[in-house]
A and B are shown apart, each in its own frame.
Chain A
Amino acid sequence: MERFGAFLTEAAPQWQITLQHRPDVVKGDADWAVHEETFTRFHIAAYRGWVDLAARIGEVSAPSLVRAPSALARILVFIATVILPRERDGLLLHACGLAAPQAAYAFCGPSGAGKSTVTSLAPPIVQIMSDENVVVRLEENVPVLHSTPFWGQSTPEAHIQRMRMRRPLAALFILKQSPKWFLRPLRNSEAILALLATEKIAVERVESARVWLDVASRLIARTPIYELGFLPTSDLWPFLTSHGFLIF
């Protein structure tokens, strides 16, 4: 559970999450989530649980102690996904975040798009905010990227940096593995569709979708968003710096 330590604060808890040991719950044939009014039930991988958005309580089960942090991460990611647009003017992005001293960059895409590759190729001067999930919030209408404790499984444990960090978001790249390098500015509608194509978005309810669209539309109005065609090589950084990004 040390992964969450850097993110704990002295503030009073706003949610109560119960973690249960349930060795009888195994991975189902398919993941599912059911949303009824403010109540959501889910079974994802070997984790089963529920969330009551109105009462701000939830429960999740893990089949073993080793998998307890992942179970907790699952339910916390869901809550963050839904609550950030509604209450914090923010979004949880399925993206890796890289922090330079003055600014940060997010590289967004669904599983397999290359987020872990981007982080593994990052030069030493860059701090990795997360390889899998970052939060972007509009703070006085300025997009600010925040690190999260929600890292993916493909980054070696020794390389994971658990740190609470925030930086102004300089640009957001939608990753596309491609046989040739390219950088294409996205129209606003394309940017919204690209974000919707990732997985960590709160559009499970009409109310959530409306709030998500509101926050996302204000975010893309204030953030340069590009489709980045890339090869999984260290040429990524020279390519980006040649286009004016990631200059330290």
Chain B
Amino acid sequence: MSDHRIPKRHPDTAFRIFDGEAVIISPTQNMVRMLNPTGSRIWELADGSRSIAEIAAILTEEFEVRPEHAPKSARDFVLALVERDLMTLNSD
């Protein structure tokens, strides 16, 4: 079943993507993170305009991710960032 929830980067974060790798700063969490290329692409796409399912579909096209694994991978990654207050998640 497709996940239509819409992730969005937390407004209290700053980030830059360097050669496909995102560096994220969260002053409120006093945290700095660097994401791998797949995670960085999810972060980049999570601008509040796409659902997790739509992001998973893009990952399938751009990375060597098997279509049956992409939705779970994208969802797990988003939920991990939501848990760390780096992303928010809204229902469609």
Given contacts A189-B34, A213-B16, contact A205 B25 (CB under 8 A): no
CB-defined contacts of A205 to chain B, threshold 8 Å: 27
CB-defined contacts of B25 to chain A, threshold 8 Å: 196, 203, 209, 212-213
Contact pattern, B 3-34, Cβ under 8 Å of A = 1, otherwise 0: 00000000111111011011101011000101
CB-defined contacts of A188 to chain B, threshold 8 Å: 18-19, 21
Closest chain A residue, CB of each to CB of B12 = A206
Contact of B27 among A187, A192, A209, A217 (CB under 8 A): A209
Closest chain B residue, CB of each to CB of A204 = B27
CB-defined contacts of A213 to chain B, threshold 8 Å: 14-16, 23, 25
Determine the distance from Cα of A214 to Cα of B23 in the docked complex, in whole angstroms.
Answer: 12
Least Cβ–Cβ distance between A185 and chain B, in angstroms:
13
> Which bracket fits the contact residues of A?
10 to 19
CB-defined contacts of B14 to chain A, threshold 8 Å: 203, 206, 209-210, 212-213
Q: Which of A35, A205, A212, A213 has the most CB of B within 10 A?
A: A213
Determine the distance from Cα of A209 to Cα of B26 in the docked complex, in whole angstroms.
Answer: 8
A193 within 8 A of B: yes
A208 within 8 A of B: yes
Given contacts A206-B14, A213-B15, contact A193 B32 (CB under 8 A): yes
Determine the distance from Cα of A35 to Cα of B28 in the docked complex, in whole angstroms.
Answer: 10
CB-defined contacts of A203 to chain B, threshold 8 Å: 14, 25, 27, 32
CB-defined contacts of B27 to chain A, threshold 8 Å: 35, 203-206, 208-209
- Give the contacts of A169-224 with B (CB-CB under 8 A): 187-189, 192-193, 196, 203-206, 208-210, 212-214, 217
Q: Which of A192, A196, A205 has the most CB of B within 10 A?
A: A192
Given contacts A205-B27, A206-B27, A209-B25, contact A189 B18 (CB under 8 A): yes
Q: Could you pull out 18 A-B pairs where Cβ atoms are within 8 angstroms?
A: A187-B19, A187-B21, A188-B18, A188-B19, A189-B19, A189-B34, A193-B32, A196-B23, A203-B25, A203-B27, A206-B11, A206-B12, A206-B13, A209-B27, A210-B14, A213-B16, A213-B23, A217-B18
